[in-house]
A = this chain, B = another copy of it.
Amino acid sequence: MKVKVGKKILSANEQYAEQNRRFFAERRILCLNMISSPGSGKTSILTRTINELKGKVKIGVIEGDIQTDYDAQRIKATGADVVQINTEGACHLSAAQVSGALEKLPVSKLEVIFIENVGNLVCPSAFELGESGKTAVLSVAEGDDKPAKYPALFAKSKVLLINKIDLLSLGAAIDFDIEKVKSEVHRLNKKIEIFSVSAKTGEGYDGWCHWLAEQAKKTNATNCK
Protein backbone atom coordinates (compact mmCIF):
# COMPACT_ATOMS: atom_id res chain seq x y z
CA MET A 1 0.00 0.00 0.00
CA LYS A 2 1.30 3.42 -0.90
CA VAL A 3 0.66 6.32 1.39
CA LYS A 4 0.68 9.72 -0.21
CA VAL A 5 2.69 12.09 1.91
CA GLY A 6 2.78 15.86 1.89
CA LYS A 7 -0.94 16.27 2.42
CA LYS A 8 -1.98 17.07 5.95
CA ILE A 9 -4.70 14.82 7.27
CA LEU A 10 -7.32 17.08 8.80
CA SER A 11 -9.46 16.18 11.80
CA ALA A 12 -13.23 16.31 11.35
CA ASN A 13 -13.28 19.66 13.15
CA GLU A 14 -10.50 21.06 10.97
CA GLN A 15 -12.35 19.93 7.83
CA TYR A 16 -15.47 21.81 8.89
CA ALA A 17 -13.34 24.80 9.94
CA GLU A 18 -11.73 24.87 6.50
CA GLN A 19 -15.18 24.69 4.89
CA ASN A 20 -16.39 27.59 7.06
CA ARG A 21 -13.24 29.56 6.24
CA ARG A 22 -13.99 29.21 2.52
CA PHE A 23 -17.63 30.13 3.17
CA PHE A 24 -16.62 33.43 4.82
CA ALA A 25 -13.91 34.15 2.24
CA GLU A 26 -16.24 33.66 -0.73
CA ARG A 27 -18.80 35.98 0.81
CA ARG A 28 -16.19 38.45 2.12
CA ILE A 29 -17.60 38.23 5.62
CA LEU A 30 -15.48 39.06 8.67
CA CYS A 31 -16.05 36.33 11.25
CA LEU A 32 -14.88 36.89 14.82
CA ASN A 33 -14.85 34.04 17.35
CA MET A 34 -15.41 35.66 20.76
CA ILE A 35 -13.96 33.79 23.72
CA SER A 36 -13.77 34.51 27.45
CA SER A 37 -14.65 33.27 30.93
CA PRO A 38 -18.33 33.16 31.81
CA GLY A 39 -19.55 36.57 32.89
CA SER A 40 -16.86 38.75 31.35
CA GLY A 41 -19.55 40.50 29.30
CA LYS A 42 -19.45 39.01 25.80
CA THR A 43 -23.18 39.44 25.15
CA SER A 44 -23.24 42.95 26.61
CA ILE A 45 -20.30 43.91 24.40
CA LEU A 46 -22.13 42.55 21.35
CA THR A 47 -25.46 44.27 22.02
CA ARG A 48 -23.77 47.65 22.44
CA THR A 49 -21.54 47.08 19.40
CA ILE A 50 -24.55 46.20 17.24
CA ASN A 51 -26.42 49.29 18.45
CA GLU A 52 -23.47 51.65 17.99
CA LEU A 53 -22.82 50.39 14.43
CA LYS A 54 -26.48 50.27 13.37
CA GLY A 55 -26.83 51.52 9.80
CA LYS A 56 -23.05 51.32 9.33
CA VAL A 57 -22.04 47.67 9.64
CA LYS A 58 -24.39 44.71 9.21
CA ILE A 59 -23.72 42.31 12.06
CA GLY A 60 -25.13 38.83 12.69
CA VAL A 61 -24.44 36.58 15.69
CA ILE A 62 -24.10 32.86 16.39
CA GLU A 63 -24.67 32.29 20.09
CA GLY A 64 -23.05 29.31 21.79
CA ASP A 65 -24.31 28.27 25.21
CA ILE A 66 -24.42 25.05 27.16
CA GLN A 67 -28.06 25.69 27.98
CA THR A 68 -30.73 28.44 27.66
CA ASP A 69 -31.30 30.96 24.90
CA TYR A 70 -30.94 33.97 27.22
CA ASP A 71 -28.08 35.45 25.20
CA ALA A 72 -29.81 34.97 21.84
CA GLN A 73 -32.85 36.79 23.21
CA ARG A 74 -30.68 39.74 24.22
CA ILE A 75 -29.14 39.88 20.73
CA LYS A 76 -32.57 39.55 19.10
CA ALA A 77 -33.80 42.55 21.07
CA THR A 78 -31.28 44.73 19.16
CA GLY A 79 -32.88 43.68 15.87
CA ALA A 80 -29.82 41.76 14.70
CA ASP A 81 -30.06 38.28 13.20
CA VAL A 82 -29.02 35.55 15.61
CA VAL A 83 -28.88 31.75 15.78
CA GLN A 84 -28.61 29.95 19.11
CA ILE A 85 -26.57 26.76 19.50
CA ASN A 86 -26.99 24.78 22.72
CA THR A 87 -24.06 22.45 23.32
CA GLU A 88 -25.92 20.50 26.05
CA GLY A 89 -22.87 20.19 28.26
CA ALA A 90 -20.00 20.54 25.80
CA CYS A 91 -17.41 23.12 26.81
CA HIS A 92 -16.79 24.69 23.39
CA LEU A 93 -18.40 25.13 19.97
CA SER A 94 -17.36 22.88 17.10
CA ALA A 95 -16.86 23.96 13.50
CA ALA A 96 -19.66 21.56 12.46
CA GLN A 97 -22.11 23.34 14.78
CA VAL A 98 -21.10 26.68 13.28
CA SER A 99 -21.53 25.27 9.78
CA GLY A 100 -25.08 24.22 10.67
CA ALA A 101 -25.86 27.62 12.19
CA LEU A 102 -24.63 29.43 9.06
CA GLU A 103 -27.43 27.79 7.07
CA LYS A 104 -29.95 29.54 9.31
CA LEU A 105 -28.42 33.04 9.10
CA PRO A 106 -29.28 35.46 6.24
CA VAL A 107 -25.58 35.60 5.37
CA SER A 108 -26.03 37.43 2.06
CA LYS A 109 -26.92 40.62 3.92
CA LEU A 110 -24.20 40.37 6.60
CA GLU A 111 -20.73 41.94 6.71
CA VAL A 112 -19.66 40.72 10.14
CA ILE A 113 -20.57 37.51 11.98
CA PHE A 114 -19.69 37.21 15.64
CA ILE A 115 -19.57 33.73 17.12
CA GLU A 116 -20.07 34.01 20.86
CA ASN A 117 -18.43 30.85 22.14
CA VAL A 118 -19.30 28.98 25.36
CA GLY A 119 -17.99 30.87 28.42
CA ASN A 120 -14.65 29.17 28.99
CA LEU A 121 -11.19 30.71 28.93
CA VAL A 122 -9.52 27.39 28.14
CA CYS A 123 -11.09 24.89 25.72
CA PRO A 124 -12.65 27.05 22.96
CA SER A 125 -9.26 28.48 21.98
CA ALA A 126 -8.14 24.99 20.93
CA PHE A 127 -10.93 24.49 18.36
CA GLU A 128 -10.79 26.44 15.11
CA LEU A 129 -14.21 27.37 13.75
CA GLY A 130 -12.99 28.86 10.47
CA GLU A 131 -13.07 32.37 11.89
CA SER A 132 -11.13 35.35 10.52
CA GLY A 133 -9.81 35.92 14.02
CA LYS A 134 -10.39 35.34 17.71
CA THR A 135 -11.67 38.11 19.98
CA ALA A 136 -10.66 37.64 23.60
CA VAL A 137 -12.57 39.36 26.38
CA LEU A 138 -11.26 39.86 29.91
CA SER A 139 -13.20 41.77 32.54
CA VAL A 140 -11.29 43.80 35.11
CA ALA A 141 -13.19 41.90 37.84
CA GLU A 142 -11.33 38.71 36.87
CA GLY A 143 -7.90 39.97 37.93
CA ASP A 144 -4.81 41.05 36.03
CA ASP A 145 -3.00 37.71 36.41
CA LYS A 146 -5.22 35.93 33.87
CA PRO A 147 -3.11 36.32 30.69
CA ALA A 148 -0.14 34.74 32.50
CA LYS A 149 -2.26 31.94 33.94
CA TYR A 150 -4.31 31.21 30.80
CA PRO A 151 -1.95 32.24 27.99
CA ALA A 152 -3.26 30.22 25.01
CA LEU A 153 -6.24 32.43 24.12
CA PHE A 154 -4.29 35.67 24.46
CA ALA A 155 -1.45 34.28 22.33
CA LYS A 156 -3.86 33.37 19.51
CA SER A 157 -6.27 36.32 19.43
CA LYS A 158 -6.53 39.08 16.86
CA VAL A 159 -8.01 41.51 19.36
CA LEU A 160 -8.53 41.75 23.13
CA LEU A 161 -11.29 43.72 24.79
CA ILE A 162 -10.62 44.58 28.42
CA ASN A 163 -14.19 45.05 29.66
CA LYS A 164 -15.96 46.59 32.67
CA ILE A 165 -13.45 49.43 32.98
CA ASP A 166 -16.23 51.50 34.60
CA LEU A 167 -15.51 49.42 37.73
CA LEU A 168 -11.98 50.85 37.91
CA SER A 169 -13.40 54.25 38.83
CA LEU A 170 -14.68 52.66 42.05
CA GLY A 171 -11.16 52.85 43.43
CA ALA A 172 -9.72 50.22 45.71
CA ALA A 173 -12.64 47.82 45.24
CA ILE A 174 -11.04 46.37 42.09
CA ASP A 175 -7.32 45.60 41.91
CA PHE A 176 -6.51 45.52 38.21
CA ASP A 177 -3.47 46.99 36.51
CA ILE A 178 -4.35 47.59 32.83
CA GLU A 179 -0.75 48.38 31.88
CA LYS A 180 0.45 45.12 33.44
CA VAL A 181 -2.15 43.19 31.39
CA LYS A 182 -1.22 44.98 28.16
CA SER A 183 2.44 44.31 28.66
CA GLU A 184 1.85 40.61 29.52
CA VAL A 185 -0.46 40.15 26.52
CA HIS A 186 1.99 41.87 24.16
CA ARG A 187 4.71 39.57 25.46
CA LEU A 188 2.51 36.62 24.35
CA ASN A 189 1.31 38.21 21.13
CA LYS A 190 3.02 41.18 19.46
CA LYS A 191 0.31 41.72 16.83
CA ILE A 192 -2.80 41.80 19.03
CA GLU A 193 -4.97 44.91 19.17
CA ILE A 194 -6.17 45.85 22.66
CA PHE A 195 -9.14 48.05 23.52
CA SER A 196 -10.27 48.95 27.05
CA VAL A 197 -14.04 49.34 27.10
CA SER A 198 -17.15 49.39 29.23
CA ALA A 199 -20.13 47.69 27.62
CA LYS A 200 -22.23 49.32 30.31
CA THR A 201 -21.22 52.98 29.87
CA GLY A 202 -19.86 52.88 26.31
CA GLU A 203 -16.43 54.14 27.38
CA GLY A 204 -13.76 53.12 24.86
CA TYR A 205 -16.30 52.12 22.20
CA ASP A 206 -15.13 54.73 19.67
CA GLY A 207 -11.79 53.00 19.21
CA TRP A 208 -13.23 49.49 19.18
CA CYS A 209 -16.07 50.26 16.77
CA HIS A 210 -13.79 52.20 14.45
CA TRP A 211 -11.36 49.26 14.34
CA LEU A 212 -14.20 46.78 13.73
CA ALA A 213 -15.72 48.85 10.92
CA GLU A 214 -12.29 49.16 9.29
CA GLN A 215 -11.70 45.40 9.52
CA ALA A 216 -15.11 44.75 7.96
CA LYS A 217 -14.37 47.21 5.16
CA LYS A 218 -10.98 45.61 4.50
CA THR A 219 -12.50 42.13 4.37
CA ASN A 220 -15.19 43.33 2.04
CA ALA A 221 -12.71 45.05 -0.30
CA THR A 222 -10.10 42.32 -0.43
CA ASN A 223 -11.12 38.73 -0.08
CA CYS A 224 -9.73 37.72 3.32
CA LYS A 225 -8.24 34.47 2.01
Contact = CB atoms under 8 A, between A and B. Distances in A.
Contact of A150 (B119, B126, B166): B119
Interface in A86-124: 89, 91, 118-123
Q: How many copies does the complex hold?
A: 2
A148 B67 contact: yes
Interface string A161-182: 0001011001001100000000
A61 to B, nearest CB: 16
Interface stretch (A8-16, A52-60, A135-143, A216-224): A135-143
A204 interface: no
A43 to B, nearest CB: 9
A34 to B, nearest CB: 15
B123 A91 contact: yes
A66 interface: yes
Where chain A touches its partner, the secondary structure class is loop
A146 B37 contact: no
A117 to B, nearest CB: 11
Contact of A66 (B66, B139, B141, B149): B149
A16 B55 CA distance: 57
Interface string A143-154: 101101111100
A64 B167 CA distance: 28
Interface of A: 37-40, 65-68, 70, 89, 91, 118-123, 126, 139, 141-143, 145-146, 148-152, 164, 166-167, 170, 173-174
Given A68-B149, A141-B164, 9 more contacts: A39-B141, A65-B149, A66-B149, A66-B152, A89-B126, A139-B141, A141-B141, A141-B167, A167-B174
